[in-house]
C-alpha cells in the first residue's frame, strides 16, 4: 500500500517537553516537507529536504528540528523552544514533478 504515513494522529504534550512527529513514505520521492496549519492562516512551511542528509529551513523553523537520514523518513521534533506548538502538522513529498502529496496529518495539543 503506497503512500505517506504520519503518526500519531493525535499527540498531547506537556509544556517544556520535546515531541517527535513521524513521517514515512514509500513513494520513492526525493523531496519531503513539513507544514504547520493554524485556523485561518493556511499552510506555513517549517522545513524541507530535497535529498537525504540535507534539509533547509522554511518560513517558521524556529523551535523545530528535523533529520533526513533515510529517503523514506523525515521526522520533525517540536522542541520546548516553540512557544505556541498547538497546531495541525502536515508532511508532504514530491518527486521531480511539481505536485506535492500529503500525509493525513498529526494534531498536536499542548496541555
Binding stretches for other proteins (CB under 8 A)? 4, 6, 31, 33, 40-43, 45, 48, 50, 56, 58, 90, 92, 94, 98-105
C-alpha cell read off for 101: 502529496
State in angstroms the smallest separation of the CB of 15 from other proteins.
25
Dihedrals phi, psi of 39, to nearest 5 degrees: -55, 130
State in angstroms the smallest separation of the CB of 80 from other proteins.
27
Cβ(57)–Cβ(63) under 8 Å? Answer: no
Measured from the Cβ of residue 72, the count of other Cβ atoms closer than 10 Å reads 16
Residue in 46, 57, 31, 25 with CA at minimum distance from that of residue 88: 46
Is 66 or 92 the residue whose CB approaches other proteins more closely? 92
State in angstroms the smallest separation of the CB of 91 from other proteins.
8
Is 16 or 40 the residue whose CB approaches other proteins more closely? 40
Is 41 or 84 the residue whose CB approaches other proteins more closely? 41
State in angstroms the smallest separation of the CB of 61 from other proteins.
13
Residue in 3, 16, 93, 90 with CA at minimum distance from that of residue 51: 93
Amino acid at each position: 500500500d503506497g503512500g505517506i504515513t504520519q503518526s500519531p494522529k493525535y499527540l498531547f504534550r506537556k509544556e517544556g517537553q520535546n515531541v517527535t512527529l513521524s513521517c514515512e513514505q514509500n513513494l520513492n520521492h526525493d523531496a519531503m516537507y513539513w507544514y504547520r496549519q493554524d485556523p485561518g492562516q493556511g499552510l506555513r512551511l517549517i522545513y524541507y529536504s530535497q535529498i537525504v542528509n540535507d534539509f533547509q529551513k522554511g518560513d517558521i523553523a524556529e523551535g523545530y528540528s528535523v533529520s533526513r537520514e533515510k529517503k523514506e523518513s523525515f521526522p520533525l521534533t517540536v522542541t520546548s523552544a516553540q512557544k505556541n506548538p498547538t497546531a495541525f502538522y502536515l508532511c508532504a513529498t514530491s518527486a521531480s514533478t511539481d505536485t506535492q502529496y500529503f500525509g493525513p496529518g498529526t494534531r498536536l495539543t499542548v496541555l
